[in-house]
Chain A
Amino acid sequence: EPEVTQTPSHQVTQMGQEVILRCVPISNHLYFYWYRQILGQKVEFLVSFYNNEISEKSEIFDDQFSVERPDGSNFTLKIRSTKLEDSAMYFCASSALRDTGEQYFGPGTRLTVT
């Protein structure tokens, strides 16, 4: 069964450093998303991406964040200058169709900022 994959599974970085989180969405999916989950809190939407551009972003997704689809399979989230409060699980998701709610999530990258 096709699935979303994410690398690395765990990333430790120092405050102020740049990190890139990588995702390979399900191959025939066209819509891509990033969510995050701070320990003990709700899963929160960060950004959606379609046709090589951001279609929607939340208030969390400020200028420190960027997304890119560098090739036909990868989808990345970059945090330019990490803060302690960026420590969270980051989930990539993808869907085949728009406006269905059927989003399939990857296993997540646990980001720890020290």
Chain B
Amino acid sequence: QKEVEQDPGPLSVPEGAIVSLNCTYSNSAFQYFMWYRQYSRKGPELLMYTYSSGNKEDGRFTAQVDKSSKYISLFIRDSQPSDSATYLCAMKPQGGSEKLVFGKGTKLTVNP
């Protein structure tokens, strides 16, 4: 089983839709969960950062972590064409390694 799995999509939605992006993982030591947005041929941009389980909201973005299911989600409300990008989940354990382990990314297109 891969350490972090993410459906690569592509995912295409109309403007204004609610988008749900997900990752599953196998390493129960992961405690830090990040979502990055990556535009084509650009660097990953940190969007959301969560420690352990729970929800975190920032504007139109909500990150959820369910450690019991080893499942994390990113919701985008009122999606805009400018949200079109690849969304990467990343995780790391607490203590020890500083290495971020990434999912493969989900390519999202929001159509006007």
Contacts and interface: CB of A to CB of B under 8 A. Distances in A.
Contact of B92 (A43, A91, A101): A101
A42 B46 CA distance: 16
Nearest to A4: B43
Contacts, number: 63
Contacts of B101: 45
B41 A110 contact: yes
Contacts of B100: 35, 43, 45, 101, 103
By size class, the interface of chain A is 20 to 34
Interface string A96-108: 0011111111111
Interface of B: 32-34, 36, 41-46, 49, 51, 88, 90-92, 94-95, 97-105
Interface of A: 4, 6, 31, 33, 35, 41-45, 48, 55-56, 58, 89, 91, 98-108, 110
